[in-house]
Chain A
Amino acid sequence: MTTAIPARSGAVEAGAAAPAPVRAARGGFGRFLIRRVLQALAVILVVSVIVFALLHALPGGPARGVLGQQATPEQIAAFEAANGLDQPVVLQYLSFLGRSLTGDLGESYLLNQSVSDAIALRLPKTLLLTGLSLVVAVLVAVPAGIYQAVRRNRAVDYWLSTLAIVAYSTPTFFLGMLLILLLSQNAGLFPAAAPQGTGIAEVLAQPAGLVLPVLTGAVPIVATFSRYMRSSTLDNLGEDYVRTARAKGTAYRRVVLRHVLRNSLTPVVAMLGYYLPVMFGGALVVEQLFNYPGMGLLFWSAAQSSDFPELLGCVLVISVATVVGSLLADLLQALLDPRTRGGLR
């Protein structure tokens, strides 16, 4: 009877992926660092090409995007000449890259604001919401994963694994609606509207309004991370050092909590970096559902009104954040566990 549900090495939710095998040059952290940073830069370059291509895939190109469907050919030609859109594509791309590097992401059509200002105002609030969800999720997922690994293939492990799949299969917005129905509509415990305000302080001043959004964001993370924690703990329980420690008379509980926990956490910490795109995707839905004034809601409003500079600016910022996040996660893992730097095991 197969009760064990291995952490799925595929998509976790909406485009997440298992970490690419960390391949590094033999010999030392320095070479690994250089190699991994170069790889991340290459990925960012490809992301910028994709975003640039999307901008040019707009019907009628960026000019029609800005001027609207009513623009005459003369207006479009004038706009293209004024903005360098009549130049060769390669030159246009280079100038787009140069502007992006200096933080100039263009002007939002909708908000009377530059794209970078609009993002800078809302990103901290998204990070706050996501960070709180992550803290809550890790506090639940790590003990749950260890407990399942210790009780592997028993009824409790079986039920928790099944529960994790059910939680993973539940769309975030449906979960949020259920929580609104149960805890806000029926029980009246928490408000269903997220805190409003321009600054972090104003948001934090209304903690009751944060409960449902944070909870909604946390459940899918628990579902994924408890499974990774379980399989990582299982791997470590089979290691020689566990047998050695047990043979020397160390209590099982102490071995698990002092040795296995530390070693099992490393790959899970590394997963955090790869999980960033999922968390940003989750934030989009949670912010839209609870009307929380973060970057996800900004992006959603931009999509409603076809505000392309805003949309593509957000995509660029989020993607670069994801690449940097997975880079940091890999570096952290390589520092904590030299075996992952390659070949020296």
Chain B
Amino acid sequence: MTGLRRFARNRLAVVGAVALAVLVLFVLVGPLVYPTEQVATDLGAANLPPGVDGHPLGTDALGYDNLGRLTVAGRVSLLVGVLAGALATVVGTLWGAVAGYVGGVVDAVMMRVVDAGIAIPAIFLLLVLSTIVRPTVGMMIVVLGLVSWLVPARLIRAEALSVRTRDYVVAARAMGATHRRTVLTHVIPNTVGTVVVNATFQVADAILLVAYISFLGMGVQPPTTDWGAMLNDGINYIYQGAWWLILPPGLAIVIVVCALNFVGDGLRDVVDVKGRTA
């Protein structure tokens, strides 16, 4: 059965893929068809409930249209999540492939570094780093990527350990391929299934992490905003029952992270060789 049909058989994965497509369209096209003022404040129109004065989702404490804000904030959340997840995947794959391929003392040292990184909870490390560097969008991507490459490193190392004993790797070495060439053209391509599936989960986790950091007030700074920062602004009005400042950005995060997890599970069905006969 082809990969696409295997993917399509997992209904949740299909739902996830559709939800992702809708959300990406929403944040990319949204500001074009529904342009709103998101820099200059309008205190005369602050804290309006949904539906009043042509604001479908109301306004926040500075008078920003909440629906429009949801789209521009989503751009930041998704951009940081995708690029940080990609960076973590690249660094983790290279690290894990080299450790697993070389083995021995090098492997042991490299994996203790990974263990140590995993022992430091990511949120704590990220908060420390945000106090050291100014959290711009670019900096958030780099910092998040450098904090979350550890899990893919472990997964790819485990794969590389088995791949390096295969005949084609031994043959490549016998024919005089350099270690660098062997790792890049034989070891890593044969772990690509694991890499792709994990990358989906990495992006999901990066989107969650960036929301946590912004919620704690240590993320991207105004006028830039993201979904986590919107929730951080909204919590001050929770006791006035301003649910429209809390539910939309919160649900957006839940939907995008859920969708990525469903898609990741669907992709795993596609690449999982063991499951193919079952």
Contact among A171, A178, A281 with B121 in the assembled complex (CB-CB below 8 Å): A281
A308 to B122, CA, bound (A): 17
Question: How far is the CB of A332 from the nearest CB of chain B, in Å?
Answer: 18
Contact present for B250 and A277 (CB under 8 Å): no
Top 4 A-B pairs, shortest CB-CB distance: A15-B122, A46-B116, A169-B257, A174-B250
Say yes or no: A14 contacts B208, CB within 8 Å: yes
Query: In whole angstroms, what is the CA distance A314 to B155 when docked?
Result: 29
Say if the beta carbon of B86 comes within 8 Å of chain A. no
Query: Which among B122, B158, B204 has the highest number of chain A CB atoms within 10 Å?
Result: B122
The answer to whether A162 touches B12, judged by C-beta atoms less than 8 angstroms apart, is yes
B238 within 8 A of A: yes
- Whether the Cβ atoms of B116 and A284 lie closer than 8 Å is no
Q: Is the CB of B128 within 8 A of A303?
A: yes
- Give the residue of A8, A13, A18, A50 whose beta carbon is less than 8 angstroms from that of B116: A50
Alpha-carbon gap, A284 to B132, bound state (A): 19
- Interchain CB contact (< 8 A) of A13 among B124, B208, B215, B234: B208
The distance from the CB of B124 to the nearest CB of chain A, in whole angstroms, is 5
Number of residues from A at the complex interface, CB < 8 A? 66
Choose one: A8, A50, A299; the contact of B120 (CB below 8 Å). A50
Q: A15-B148, A303-B216 are in contact. Are A315 and B124 (CB under 8 A)?
A: yes
Nearest A residue to B198 via CB reads: A10
For residue B47, CB closer than 8 A to chain A, the reply is no
B127 interface residue (CB < 8 Å to A): yes
Cβ-based interface call for B241 (8 A): yes
Distance of A108 from chain B, by nearest CB (Å): 14
Does A304 lie at the interface of the complex (its beta carbon under 8 Å from any beta carbon of B)? yes
B244 CB to closest chain A CB, in angstroms?
11
User: Is the CB–CB distance between A2 and B132 below 8 Å?
Assistant: no
- B217 engages A304 (CB within 8 Å): yes
Chain B binding surface, main DSSP class: helix
Q: Is the CB of A173 within 8 A of B212?
A: yes
Interface residue B119 (Cβ < 8 Å from any Cβ of A): yes
Q: With A11-B201, A15-B121, A303-B131 given, can you name 16 additional A-B contacts, CB distance below 8 Å? A: A8-B201, A13-B208, A15-B120, A17-B154, A169-B258, A170-B257, A173-B215, A174-B254, A177-B238, A177-B250, A185-B238, A281-B121, A284-B124, A299-B127, A300-B127, A319-B120
B124 & A21 in contact (Cβ 8 Å cutoff): no
- Looking at the complex, which of B56-64, B172-180, B261-269 is the stretch in contact with chain A? B261-269
Complex: chain B residue closest to A16, CB-CB: B118
CA distance A323 to B212 in the complex (A): 24
Taking A14-B205, A47-B119, A277-B120 as contacts, is the C-beta distance between A20 and B154 under 8 angstroms?
yes
A278 and B208 form a contact (CB under 8 A): no
Contact of B124 among A46, A162, A299 (CB under 8 A): A299
| Given known contacts A5-B265, A14-B212, A304-B217, A281 and B124 CB-to-CB distance under 8 angstroms | yes
Contact mask A315-337 → B, CB, 8 Å, 1/0?
10011101100100000000000
Cβ contact within 8 Å between A171 and B215: yes
Report the minimum CB–CB distance from A266 to chain B (whole Å).
21
A54 within 8 A of B: yes
Contact B121 A17 (CB under 8 A): no
A1-38 interface bits toward B, Cβ cutoff 8 Å, 1 = contact, 0 = none: 11001001111011111101100000000000000000
> Is B87 located at the chain interface by the 8 A CB criterion?
no
17 A-B pairs (CB sep. < 8 Å): A1-B10, A2-B265, A10-B201, A13-B205, A14-B209, A14-B212, A15-B123, A43-B112, A47-B116, A54-B128, A168-B261, A171-B250, A177-B250, A280-B121, A303-B130, A306-B131, A322-B120
Name the distance in Å between A296's Cβ and chain B's nearest Cβ.
9
A299 to B123, CA, bound (A): 11
Complex Cα spacing A170 to B152, Å: 22
CA distance A68 to B139 in the complex (A): 23
B99 within 8 A of A: no
Chain B residue with the shortest CB-CB distance to A15: B122
Asked if B66 is at the interface (CB within 8 A of a chain A CB), the reply is no
Write the chain A residue with the least CB distance to B243.
Answer: A181
B238 and A165 contact, CB distance less than 8 A:
no
B125 surroundings in chain A (CB, below 8 A)? 315
Q: Assess whether B37 is interfacial by the CB under 8 Å rule.
A: no
- A246-287 interface (Cβ within 8 A of B): 277-278, 280-281, 284-285
Judged by a CB distance under 8 angstroms, whether A90 is at the interface is: no
Name B's A-contacting residues (CB within 8 A).
9-12, 111-113, 115-125, 127-132, 147-148, 150-152, 154-155, 158, 198, 201-202, 204-205, 208-209, 211-212, 215-218, 228, 231, 234-235, 238-239, 241, 243, 246, 250, 253-254, 257-258, 261-262, 265-266, 269
Tell me the bound Cα distance from A299 to B218 in angstroms.
13
- CB of A135 within 8 A of chain B? no
The answer to the question of A236 belonging to the interface, with a C-beta cut-off of 8 Å to chain B, is: no
Given A10-B198, A46-B115, A177-B231: A166 touches B128 (CB 8 Å cut-off): no
Residues B262 and A57 in contact, CB atoms below 8 Å apart: no
- Assess whether B122 is in contact with A185, with CB atoms less than 8 Å apart: no
Query: Are A165 and B198 within 8 A (Cβ)?
Result: no
With contact pairs A178-B250, A185-B238 given, residues A171 and B124 touching in the complex (Cβ less than 8 Å): no
How many Å lie between the Cα of A318 and that of B122 in the bound state?
A: 11
Residue of A nearest to B152 (CB): A10
Residue of A nearest to B234 (CB): A177
Alpha-carbon distance between A49 and B169 when the two chains are bound, in angstroms: 36
Closest to B125 in A: A315
A311 touches B131 (CB 8 A): yes
Whether the pair A181, B246 counts as a contact (CB closer than 8 A) is yes
Chain B residues near A39: list those with CB within 8 A: 112, 115
Output the least CB separation between B85 and chain A (Å). Answer: 11
Q: Which residues of A contact B257 (CB under 8 A)?
A: 169-170
